[in-house]
Amino acid sequence: MSMGNLQKMAMQMQQDMARAQRELETATVEGTAGGGVVKAVVSGKREIMSLTIDPSAVDPEDVEMLQDLVLSAVNEGLKAAQALEEQKMGAITAGLRVPGLF
């Protein structure tokens, strides 16, 4: 493989990665808990966009359960966002783990 071809491949990968990053900025995923009574919407950049709690999940006598549901929904959403990022970037890098890439 010539140096010119290698440079073209690197430029194409850089363009593809920039496109994937733009897609991740607008993508959202969802994490739920308690059969959907708590829902967290997370951006592709792993930021919590919204948190919805069904009133039926609010029990003043059991605040700990609600806290657990919120944590579970948020963590599920964050894991889904990470999986989406790995999927998009993995398609570009053909599964190679490049240090500092993600």
Non-local (6+) Cβ contacts of 42 within 8 A are 28, 29, 30, 31, 48, 49, 74, 77, 78, 80, 81
Let me know if residue 102 belongs to a domain. no
Let me know if residue 26 belongs to a domain. yes
Let me know if residue 98 belongs to a domain. no
The domain of 40 spans: 3-93
Alpha-carbon distance 33 to 46, whole Å?
A: 18
- For 49, the enclosing helix (H) or strand (E) is strand 48-53
Which pLDDT score, from 0 to 100, does residue 100 have?
Answer: 57
Let me know if residue 72 belongs to a domain. yes
Let me know if residue 99 belongs to a domain. no
Number of domains in the chain: 1
Ranges under pLDDT 50 in the chain: 102
Which pLDDT score, from 0 to 100, does residue 11 have?
Answer: 86
SS3 97: coil
